[in-house]
Amino acid sequence: MREAAFIKVTPLSQKESISYDDVKEILQYYQEITHKTGEQLSWEYDQNAFPYEIMEITSSEGTYLHLKSHEDPHYHSIFIDIPNTPADTLPDTLRISLAASSTTADKGKANELCKFIAKKWEAELQLFNNRVMYFCKRK
């Protein structure tokens, strides 16, 4: 059984639409700031804060990002994709999914990444437990 969280950009968000380049850019930014934190602490914090390798996979089902743990046995994988939208609209939703083989550590890290991305983009976040967090400006 796969669990999923959704990040949706709204008209009041910083982004109007979402692309895979946007996602890779914000994940790269996350890695950079955790690396800087590690330097300040004299500790390899970036390996613990983001224990994944980012792989872009294109298959018959579409394109998605696979965050695969490279060394840490507590982590396995997280999948990120942009669900299909009608041709006349821009993609506005990002789905973060956990595979059946994902661990509770993956779920915790996915929650952390979801909150980070939603906060930076000032977006609406539907967590894995279906609760909604609003980081967007509201009227």
Can you tell me the mean pLDDT for 4-31? 92
Planar angle of CA 117, 120, 125, nearest 5 degrees: 50
Q: Could you tell me the residue range of the domain that residue 18 belongs to?
A: 3-134
Query: Domain with 112 in it: what CATH number?
Result: 3.30.310.120
Residue 92 reports pLDDT greater than 90: no
- The pTM of the full predicted model, rounded to 2 decimals, is 0.89
Q: What pLDDT was estimated at residue 1? A: 42
Can you tell me the mean pLDDT for 39-53? 84
Q: What is the C-alpha separation between 109 and 112, in angstroms, rounded?
A: 5
Provide the domain count of the chain.
1
Can you tell me the mean pLDDT for 8-27? 90
Residue 48 reports pLDDT greater than 70: yes
